[in-house]
Chain A
Amino acid sequence: MDGITGVELIRAAALLGAGMSMGFGAIGPGIGEGFAAGKACEAIGRNPDQAGLLTRTMLVGQAVSESTGIYALVISLLLIFVVKG
């Protein structure tokens, strides 16, 4: 046992940071996409003829609001695969 070296510490911090980035980054898109889906359900209930248009608009809106989560994913991937310590 010769203790933890600096390289291992950097690796550990990068992995921890990757997990935290993804965890916190997923909160916003999760809430936002759920809200969009809920509103779309309400709208379809009120007006079932427009279900196709509403679903399409909902999917586009969700994919756009997902981008913050995707940024978190990209940061996590960078931390896992690029930071070698």
Chain B
Amino acid sequence: MGDITHVPTFVVELFGITLTVNYLTVFNTWAIMATLIVLAFIVRGRIKETPGPVQRVAELYISAMDNLTRETLETTSRAYFPLVATMFAFLLLCNWWGIIPGFEEPTKDLNTPLSLGLMGFFLTHTASIRAKGIGLYLKEYTHPFFIMAPLNVVGELAKVVSISFRLFGNIMGGAIIITVVSWMVYSVALPPFLYAFFGMFVGTVQAFVFTMLTITYIAVATK
């Protein structure tokens, strides 16, 4: 029970700046990235004319992601498809990672969702400037009247906060509920079902929502 608030930190002094690093998040993120790369190489080595089970699952995933981007982004879908497919796979594995004993979800640390949200923010605005030109892009901030400009800026920044806190809150809340209930029942019988709900179900839904919202923001900004 006492380990809920404990954050493992590693402090580095670099050119006079003090950096505080949560080494568990860094380790788990790299482990997930390595897993994804290894999976990609396994699938790549088995590509054949008549697909085996591994290739079939990979093709199912790729075509589902392709359909999703095509429905939302229409013409520019090819440019964003790699991002969307990778982001969903990464977040899915991140949210499921806590099910493996001894590992923690990187999304339980606010830094992971926040950095992904900021990536989406910069991507959205770059795509918007590229699609409309800087003049039309700036003009959108004064949309109904000129006075509304500060409100529109805050609205854009609030998107980053809402998208990252949604993922963080869901995973962190689930992890805390799992810890507290496991402590109450002495880890008997109940925890696997909690992991199935908070890890698998909520994790899948939240990974999907995060990916979906990122592409929706891009689609709205480029329209």
Contacts and interface: CB of A to CB of B under 8 A. Distances in A.
B212 interface: yes
A51 B173 CA distance: 30
Interface string B148-187: 0000000000000010011011101100100000000000
Which of A63, A64, A73, A77 has the most C-beta atoms of chain B within 10 angstroms of its own C-beta? A63
Contacts of B173: 70, 73, 77
B62 interface: no
Task: Using C-beta atoms within 8 Å of the partner chain, give the interface range for chain B.
Answer: 10 to 19
Nearest to A69: B169
A56 to B, nearest CB: 8
Task: Using C-beta atoms within 8 Å of the partner chain, give the interface range for chain A.
Answer: 10 to 19
A63 B166 contact: yes
Contacts of B212: 60
A67 B166 contact: yes
Contacts of A64: 166, 209, 213
B165 A60 contact: no
A60 B176 contact: no
B169 A60 contact: no
B4 to A, nearest CB: 7
Interface of B: 4-5, 162, 165-166, 168-170, 172-173, 176, 205-206, 208-209, 212-213
